[in-house]
Structure 1
Amino acid sequence: MITDIYCVSGISGVDHDHVFISSGENVSLPCNNTLSDCKSKTTWIYNRFSHSGAVELIKLGIKKNDTERHERLSLESNSSLNIKNVTEEDYGLYTCRQYVNDTQQGPDVNVSLNVLHVSVSPSSSSSSSSSSSQTEISPGSVTLSCQLYSYTGFSCDDLVSSEGVELLWVNQTGVDLKTDSRYQILSSSDQYRCFIITLTTTLLNEDNNREWRCQLTHRNQLQTSVRYTVKYSGEKTLFSDRFVKTFTHWLYSS
C-alpha cells in the first residue's frame, strides 16, 4: 500500500517525544522533521529493545505488509504514524526519517511510546473490546495490576526524575488510595515495565458500583487513566469488573 505524500510546511521542534496511551486506544506519533519539499518521503522504524535489530514499518512512504500489525498502521500527510487499537506489545522507540532522492535529510526524530495496561486477578470468564473488558470474579481478595510498558533503552529512573512520570491508584474523587488502610499498594518494575503498581483489597458488599482508577501523570498533567468499577452480576456471590479506558492525549518534549 502506498501512502500519498503531500506538500507540508517544515516543522521546527525537538528530536525526541514521549507519548503515553492506554491499551485499546488509537494514537498518532508525530514526526517533527517534516520537510516542505514535495519530493520528500517518510520512513518509520520501530525498536523495542536497545540491543535488538530495528524493524521498518514504513519505508519511503510505502507501508511494509510483512509486519504483524501492518493493518493497524497508517501514515498521515504530515508524516505522523497512526496506530489503531494500541496493545501493550506496541510500546517501544519509533524513529521518523525524511528522505529526498534516497538521501536522508535532517536528523532522526525519536518518539517513545509508553503504554498503560491493567490486568486483574483472580479472574474466570471475560469478554473485551478495544475500549472495555468485563470479568466475573468470586468475592474475596482481588488484585489490580497497573503497568506502564516503556522502551528499555532509557532508564526508568529518568522517567521519574527528568520526565516527572507518576502512577497512582485513586478513588472516584481523586484521593490517593495509599491513605486508606484497607488497600495494599505495592510498586515495582521489571525488564519490560518501568512501573508496576498493584492494588490488593477484599471486596465488600458496599463496593458495588465503587470506582477505582489508575492514573498516569506526566509533569503534573494527566495523560491517561484506567477506571475499575465493581459491579454485581446476578446474585451477590458474583462480581464483574469493567475497564473503561479514558485518556487525555498530550505530547511533551523531553
Structure 2
Amino acid sequence: MSSVVSGVSGAEVTDVFISSGESVSLSCHDALHQCSSTTWIYNNYTSSSAVEVFAGGINKNNTERSERLSLTSDCSLNIYNTTQHDGGVYTCRQYVNGHHLGPDSQVYLHVLHVSSSSSSSSSQTEIRANTSVTLSCQLFSYDCDYVLSYDGFQLVWMNQTDVDLQTDSRYQIRSDEHDCLISLTTTLVNEDDNTELRCVLKHKNDIKTSVTYTVRFTEQRGPVSAVLTDSSVRKDPTVI
C-alpha cells in the first residue's frame, strides 16, 4: 500500500502515523540545494485553506506553532512535540525564479491523541479511587474518517497484555467513526495501581502507533495520578 490517502496527481505521497508529544521529520523528495527554493504548505483537518509555514526556506512565523518547526539540511520539515492540531496534509513544493517545479511531495500526518476526564472535572489530572474516568482516543488527520474506512484500519483499547478491553465488562467502549474517536469509561479502584490502558491504531495485524494511559497511585487509597505516556512501537514514526 503506497498511501492511504490519494494526493494531487503527480505528487509523491506518504502517510506518517505518530502519537501526540512525539517529534517527527517529514521528507521533501527531490528538494533543491540549500532549501532556498523550498516551500512547505499545510492544510489541517478543520479548514480547506492552505497556510505556508516555510517559503524560500524561511519560517513564515505565521502560526502559534512556528517555534516548533524547522528545516533540516535536506529540507525535511521537523515538527517538535506534536499536538493533535498538527494533523493534516503537508506539501513540499519547489520554486525557481517564481516558477513551480514539480512534482510536489505530500505527507499526510496522522496524530493519535488521548485526553481524559472524570465525573468531577473535564480536565482533571488527579482523581481519587472509585471515581469514574473517561478516556477519549482520537485520530487527527486531514480526512480521518476516510483513513478508518480503509480496509483493515481500526482503533482499539487494550490492556498491558494486549487484550482487547471490549471483552471486559469493567470497561464501556464506544466508537464514533465519523469523528475517528473511541472512548473508554471505567471506575478506577485501588487495584488499578500501575495499570496501563493502551489506545492502538491498527492496520490488520500491524500497529501503526499507540498511546498508553498509565494509572499510578501516589499513596495507598490516596489520589490517583493519571500519567499519559507515549508508547509507539517504533523509535521512528510509522511511515507508509
1:32 and 2:29 are equivalent in the alignment? yes
1:169 and 2:157 are equivalent in the alignment? yes
What is the correspondence of 1:181-192 to structure 2 with a 5 Å cutoff?
181-190=169-178
Note the residue ranges of structure 1 that are not aligned, 5 or more in a row.
1-12, 127-133
In 2, Cα distance between the equivalents of 1:77 and 1:238? 48
Amino acid at match of 2:138: Q
Q: Normalising to structure 1: TM-score of the pair?
A: 0.79
1:150 and 2:146 are equivalent in the alignment? no
1:213 and 2:213 are equivalent in the alignment? no
C-alpha distance 234-125 of structure 1, shift in aligned 2 (>3 A): farther
2:48 alignment counterpart: 52
**C-alpha displacement of 1:118:** 0.6
**C-alpha displacement of 1:103:** 1.6
1:93 alignment counterpart: 89
Q: Identical aligned pairs, as a percentage?
A: 54
1:131 alignment counterpart: none
User: What CA RMSD, in Å, does the superposition of the two structures yield over aligned residues?
Assistant: 2.5
- Say which of 227, 230, 240 aligns to 1:242: 227
2:132 alignment counterpart: 141
C-alpha distance 51-177 of structure 1, shift in aligned 2 (>3 A): closer
Which whole-Å deviations, capped at 9, do the CAs of 1:199-233 have from their partners, x for residues lacking one?
Answer: 11122222112211111224532222111222222
Which whole-Å deviations, capped at 9, do the CAs of 1:40-64 have from their partners, x for residues lacking one?
Answer: 6210001115863211011121111
1:204 alignment counterpart: 189
Q: Normalising to structure 2: TM-score of the pair?
A: 0.84
Contact 1:114 1:149 in 2 (8 A): yes
Note the residue ranges of structure 2 that are not aligned, 5 or more in a row.
1-9
After TM superposition, the structure 1 stretch with the greater mean CA deviation from structure 2, 54-63 or 99-108, is 99-108
